[in-house]
A and B are shown apart, each in its own frame.
Chain A
Amino acid sequence: MHISEGVLSAPVLVSGAVIAVAGCAIGLKKIDYDHIVHVAMLAAVFFVASLIHVNIGPSSAHLILNGIIGLLLGFAAFPAIFIALLLQAVFFQYGGLTVLGANVVIMALPAVMVHYLFLPLLGKSPRLSIAAGALSGAGAIFLSSLILSAALWLTEKNFFETCVLVMAANIPIMIIEGIVTGFCVTFLLKVYPEIIPGQKNGNTSDRKSRIEKGQKNEV
């Protein structure tokens, strides 16, 4: 999903950088003090998940996890994904620095979109939650593929052909991410619902509520 250096035209790179900076600014503004550790944790997950390639026989696959990151962080996914991609570009030469903005938009914008599309469905019923989680995972990859195709189209002008190639290459990842995200959401709803915005105490106040609970127990 990382676009390499030298592929996109200058206007696409500049537009990507501008959108990425705007997204990061909004994201940073929206992160509150209690939420910072979650953002760092998910940025680290994204950083590592993109590195792990699972080889089984002749095949190989890797996770992106922008769906679950978007569900949990909303706009804060922008700075989280930006930092992870920046470190990947510097340390491992994945993607590149000039194309960083475009890569951030390709992975973070769908994350924010699935947050607003599927978060309201979580916690309503177990089946709906797993479906919403799975759709978030698969949907984020689908939207990322669409933005990637558009970025390549704006450079090469053959949208349909590019789109078909990108979608075909990413269908297996969509399905894997759908399954993984569906399970992750179900697991988190059971063991740590506070991390999901809007669930029980929501992630912005879970620390305060725990402190309050602790104080009550002490009394």
Chain B
Amino acid sequence: MKYKALWVLCVLICLVAAKDVSAHKVIVFAWVEDGMIHTESSFGSKKKAKDCPIQVIDEKGTVVHEGVTDDQGNYVFKIPDQVDSDLVIRLDAGTGHSATWKLSHDELVTPGDENHLAASMEEKQKFESGPSPLKIMGGIGIIFLLALLTGYLRKKKKTHD
């Protein structure tokens, strides 16, 4: 009983302590609204990338702006002056995790309409959606198909020998 309680305690401690463990998919999404560039960063849709550095890089590779995401993984800033190229927003989520998002020059100079914004939001949701069951089953299916193929080839080779 004493040991069981210890195990349960260990698991609970680990799960609580694991809140800062990074997930696999790092996402940064950016759009232009009212002369400002809005960014949202997350590890999937629910877990936000907090306090992570953001760099804004132009086509020449020059860093034109830098900032840090807030508690909600958001960072908003004014469109940098004299931008004459596309901009790449780069999120550094630490320990090997990073993501980029490209904003075209047209998007930066043309005031965004509601349709464009809605399209951007749809794109964002699509990007943030988790793995579908179909893809998971498909992946497992491919693994077993490869195993079958390998088995068949090995058997054929054995028969030949």
Name A residues whose Cβ lies closer than 8 Å to a Cβ of B: 1-8, 31-33, 36-37, 39-40, 43-44, 47-48, 50-51, 53-62, 83-84, 87-88, 91-95, 148, 151-152, 162, 165-166, 169-173, 175-176, 179
Given A7-B98, A43-B143, A94-B24 in contact, is the A61-B14 Cβ separation under 8 Å? yes
Docked-complex contact B135 and A173, CB < 8 angstroms: no
Q: What B residues does A176 contact at CB under 8 A? A: 11, 14-15, 18
Docked-complex contact B139 and A47, CB < 8 angstroms: yes
Docked-complex contact A33 and B151, CB < 8 angstroms: yes
Q: How far is the CA of A41 from the CA of B2 in the complex (A)?
A: 35
Given contact pairs A56-B15, A176-B15, a sample of 19 additional A-B residue pairs in the complex whose CB atoms are under 8 Å apart: A3-B96, A5-B98, A32-B154, A36-B151, A39-B147, A51-B131, A56-B16, A59-B18, A60-B19, A60-B23, A93-B25, A95-B24, A165-B94, A169-B21, A169-B22, A175-B13, A176-B11, A179-B10, A179-B11
Docked-complex contact A36 and B154, CB < 8 angstroms: yes
Given A87-B139, A91-B135 in contact, is the A40-B18 Cβ separation under 8 Å? no
- Summarize B's interface: helix, strand, loop or mixed: helix
B95 at the interface (CB under 8 A from A): yes
Q: What A residues does B121 contact at CB under 8 A? A: none
Name B residues whose Cβ lies closer than 8 Å to a Cβ of A: 7, 10-11, 13-26, 44, 46-47, 94-100, 131, 135-136, 138-140, 142-144, 146-147, 150-151, 154-155, 158
Docked-complex contact B140 and A44, CB < 8 angstroms: yes
Q: What B residues does A36 contact at CB under 8 A? A: 147, 150-151, 154
28 sampled A-B residue pairs with Cβ under 8 A: A2-B96, A3-B96, A4-B26, A31-B150, A33-B151, A33-B158, A36-B147, A36-B151, A40-B144, A40-B147, A44-B139, A44-B140, A51-B131, A56-B15, A59-B18, A60-B19, A61-B15, A62-B21, A84-B143, A87-B143, A92-B131, A93-B25, A94-B24, A148-B95, A165-B94, A169-B21, A172-B21, A176-B14
Given A37-B147, A83-B146, A176-B11 in contact, is the A91-B17 Cβ separation under 8 Å? no
Q: How far is the CA of A53 from the CA of B25 in the complex (A)?
A: 12
Docked-complex contact A169 and B95, CB < 8 angstroms: yes
Q: What B residues does A53 contact at CB under 8 A? A: 23, 44
Docked-complex contact B14 and A172, CB < 8 angstroms: yes
Q: What B residues does A44 contact at CB under 8 A? A: 139-140, 143-144
Q: How far is the CA of A156 from the CA of B67 in the complex (A)?
A: 20
Q: How far is the CA of A112 from the CA of B158 in the complex (A)?
A: 27
Closest 4 CB pairs of A and B: A40-B147, A3-B96, A172-B18, A61-B18
Docked-complex contact B143 and A83, CB < 8 angstroms: yes
Q: What A residues does B139 contact at CB under 8 A? A: 44, 47, 84, 87-88, 91
Q: Which residue of B lies closest to A152 (CB)?
A: B96
Docked-complex contact B23 and A87, CB < 8 angstroms: no
Q: How far is the CA of A46 from the CA of B11 in the complex (A)?
A: 21
Q: What B residues does A166 contact at CB under 8 A? A: 95-96
Q: What B residues does A152 contact at CB under 8 A? A: 95-96
Given A84-B143, A93-B25 in contact, is the A55-B98 Cβ separation under 8 Å? no
Given A4-B96, A152-B95, A169-B95 in contact, is the A60-B21 Cβ separation under 8 Å? yes
Given A40-B144, A175-B14 in contact, is the A151-B131 Cβ separation under 8 Å? no
Q: How far is the CA of A55 from the CA of B47 in the complex (A)?
A: 10
Q: What A residues does B44 contact at CB under 8 A? A: 53
Q: What B residues does A47 contact at CB under 8 A? A: 136, 139-140, 143
CB < 8 Å neighbour of B95 from A48, A62, A165: A165
